[in-house]
Amino acid sequence: MYDAVTAANIPAGARMVAGYIDRIKLAPWSAADWARFPGAVKVTIVKKASTDDGHVLDVEVGDATPGEAPGWVRMRRAAGADPTVYCNTSTWPAVRAAFAKAGVAEPHYWIARYDGDPAIPAGAVAKQYRGNVPPGYDVSSVADYWPGVDGNGNEPASTGAEIMERITVTPPNAAQNTVRVFLSGSPGAAVVVRPRIDGEGFAKPLWVGDIFAWGSDHQGIGHNPTQTPGYDSRLTSHRRYDLPGALWADINYSAAQEFEIDIVG
């Protein structure tokens, strides 16, 4: 992934780009800047903790502070987003301490360390490992799946899902169980399964197997994820399951602790 203050510095064929959408001193990316990368995954960054938008909050000198990060994350979650905080490795402990002090579950982290090593540190989803590459861009490695970014479209606007309801599932045991959810039946019907985040900022894994969905004619409508080749049933972060046209669905799962399901319409 490439990011830059000046979008024109990034190679035009980039498949994933990150840019700013609010202003402190420097202008944010314009619509024309984003349009330079029509086929790229687009990650939006905000500098101010008062900005209720974006995938990522930039915590560094001159932008947001560690103490401001929990409030921004809480605000973005209320808007339906699954937020990420950017910071460098030396600031990371202060950021995590701020979340512990505020009693707010930690977000995903994009960590900066310009050591040329693309290996992503444990507890992060991305690592910025090269900085200020001529003519002026940074390079990051990114996990195969970035919650809150992947599956949310490519437009440089707020990507919070339209959550109709959030339910808490309490497993009766750690074996396989089933929970029934009711959906809108719309083309955008979906569920987002969310493992709980522990005190260290990590999710306890759960497993989601068959999902049997039905439409208005009481007939199955498909979309069972286990029928997808290579499907990994183990979740360690949130995952969205699109169920277009579904009015209800039975979700088979195994979990040792409570988790949440967002009903999306």
Whether the model clears a pTM of 0.75, i.e. scores above it, the answer is: no
CB 14 within 8 A of CB 4: no
Architecture of domain 163-264: Sandwich (2.60)
Instruction: For domain 2-142, give the fold.
Output: TIM Barrel (3.20.20)
Distance CA 132, CA 90 (A): 19
Q: How many CB atoms lie under 10 A from the CB of residue 25?
A: 6
Please report, for the chain, the start and end positions of each structural domain, with discontinuous segments joined by +: 2-142, 163-264
Residues 129-187 have pLDDT tens digits of 999 999 999 999 998 889 999 865 433 333 334 556 778 999 999 999 999 999 888 88
Residues 235-249 have pLDDT tens digits of 877 788 989 888 999
Nearest Cα to 75, choosing from 44, 106, 49? 49
